[in-house]
Amino acid sequence: MKPVLDIRDLGIAFGGLKAVDQVSFQAQRHKITTVIGPNGAGKSTLFNLISGALKPHHGQVLIDGVDMTGAAPERTKAAGLSRSFQITSLFPELTVAENLRLAAQVLEPTGRAFLPVGRSTRALAKTGQMLERFQLAHKRDDLAGNLSHGDQRRLEIAVCLASEPKILLLDEPTQGMSHGDTAETARLVRSLTDDVTILLIEHDIGLVMDLSDHVVVMHQGRKLAEGPPDLVRADPAVQAAYFGH
């Protein structure tokens, strides 16, 4: 099947540092592809190159077969890409429901996008759906800034999903979460593959093994290995560079 995301020979350098160097891989539709690697390996930079936050010096990014290399974040978003950040990007002074409704506003037909938020029906329906699915209905009127860390991170995923993207980029969605919150988030992420293709950055190796269909290992900007989670974990080069310390 045609990959929904096709990364070809991607690279960028900051001064002399090759943060991402000759990285190629593909993400298959409705699968979870996880990027792992030690701190500073280039994972977040890779996401920035894919989303258009940074322009690559080399290589290509294809979304659904369309060349989106160097396209601005608005354009990759319009092409169906949505990303969460390592640091939360919610509006803390807005309620849970308002954060969702703002994100879902893009579903309104052109020309209706700027109607008063309360009157936009598709966005409103999507907001209700997301509140249910993410078990946030009872917190719909809470300010996002007042939610627990776990609830904020889950709301952020819901916000990313509210625009009905094809591809969801999640950068360490369980970072700083309790054990229970991590497990619940993992279940949630797994349930999303019916709707989207997921590209995930995750540190918790147990979670990586459980969740991933395909794993890409990065080390010092380069792709060290890729494959099914168990094979990648057994790879001697991966053992040495990543699990060995």
User: Which of ligand ADP, Mg ion, none lies near 39, with the C-beta cut-off 5 to 8 A by kind?
Assistant: ligand ADP
Phi, psi of 36, rounded to the nearest 5 degrees: -120, 170
> In whole angstroms, how close is the CB of 44 to ligand ADP at the nearest point?
3
3-state secondary structure of 210: helix
Q: Tell me, by CB under 5 A, how many residues bind Mg ion.
A: 2
Q: Does 55 bind ligand ADP (CB under 6 A)?
A: no
- Tally Cβ neighbours within 10 Å of residue 225: 19
Position 76 contacts Mg ion (CB under 5 A): no
Q: Nearer Cβ to Mg ion, position 21 or 108?
A: 21
- List the one residue out of 222, 212, 220, 216 whose CA is nearest residue 235: 216
Listed ranges 40-48, 162-170, 173-181, 233-241: which one lies at the site for ligand ADP (CB under 6 A): 40-48
Q: How far is the CB of 19 from Mg ion (least distance, A)?
A: 11
H helix or E strand, kind and range, residue 226? strand 222-227
Residue 91 C-beta: closest distance to ligand ADP, Å: 25
* DSSP-H helix ranges across 79-120: 96-104
Select from Mg ion, ligand ADP, none the partner in contact with residue 19, using the beta carbon and a kind-dependent cut-off of 5 to 8 Å: ligand ADP
Residue 113 binding: pick among Mg ion, ligand ADP, none (C-beta 5-8 Å cut-off by kind): none
Which of 34, 44, 76, 163 binds Mg ion (CB under 5 A)? It is 44
Closest CA to 99 of 131, 53, 72, 76: 131
DSSP assignment of 155-170 equals: HHHHHHHTT--SEEEE
45 touches ligand ADP by CB under 6 A: yes
Q: How far apart are CA 66 and CA 40, in angstroms?
A: 29
**Among residues 2, 13, 14, 92, the one that binds ligand ADP under rule CB under 6 A:** 14
41 binds ligand ADP (CB under 6 A): yes
Q: Cβ neighbours of residue 150 under 8 Å, at least 6 residues apart?
A: 177, 178, 181, 184, 185
Nearer to ligand ADP, 107 or 169 (CB): 169
- How many other CB atoms sit within 10 Å of the CB of residue 109? 8
**With CB cut-offs between 5 and 8 Å by kind, which of Mg ion, ligand ADP, none does residue 37 bind?**
ligand ADP
Establish if 33 lies at the interface with Mg ion (CB under 5 A).
no
Helices 149-161 and 96-104: crossing angle in degrees, nearest 10, is: 20
Report the chain's C-alpha Rg in angstroms. 18
Q: How far is the CB of 191 from Mg ion (least distance, A)?
A: 25
What contacts 234, CB < 8 A, 6 or more positions away? Answer: none
Least gap, CB of 171 to ligand ADP (angstroms): 8
Interface residues with Mg ion (CB under 5 A) are 43-44
Interface residues with ligand ADP (CB under 6 A) are 14, 17, 19, 37, 39-45
